[in-house]
Amino acid sequence: MVHRLRSIGKLKRDRKPDLELILELFSTSVDQFACSECGTIGLTVSAADEFFDDEQWGESRKCEICGQSIAAERLEVFPDTRVCTSCKQTDESGDTAEEPEYCPRCGALMVLRTSTTAGVVRYEMRCSECRMS
């Protein structure tokens, strides 16, 4: 849903957008989505089966944290797992990376920049696209 909303410009780049916002935007924008195969505008949305399994469609299950495929061996041992091995290890070790910051104006990634004035070095977050600080 997030990918389709971003493709029509309804959702800015945000790592974890609010679920209620996604559902509302998706339901009101269905008539603007194009089919990826035939290009027809206006998709039909129906509720997914509660027991939907990616493997039925020939796809491996994706990690809920990083989005990478979970190894088949891990799924054999832990069939209900939702995270890959590396994310599980990072979670257990406590080494969590900081969440990236996004520009409130355009949604682009903010970067840490230095500025030097009169010999004093200052650090500030700046937008990589619109240069807002």
Summarize pLDDT for 34-88 with one digit per residue, the tens: 776 677 777 666 665 555 555 555 557 888 878 788 888 888 888 888 888 888 8
pLDDT, tens only, 79-133 = 888 888 888 888 787 665 566 778 888 888 888 888 888 888 888 888 878 877 6
pLDDT at 114: 85
Domain boundaries, the chain: 1-46, 48-98, 100-133
Which two structure tokens, joined as six digits, stand for 102?
A: 């996004």
CA–chain centroid gap for 130, Å, is 22
Distance CA 74, CA 126 (A): 40
Within 10 angstroms of residue 46's Cβ, the number of other Cβ atoms is: 5
Percent of the chain past pLDDT 90, that is, above it, reads: 0
Distance CA 68, CA 100 (A): 19
Distance CA 69, CA 20 (A): 26
Q: Which of 83, 79, 27, 72 shows the shortest CA–CA distance to 51?
A: 79
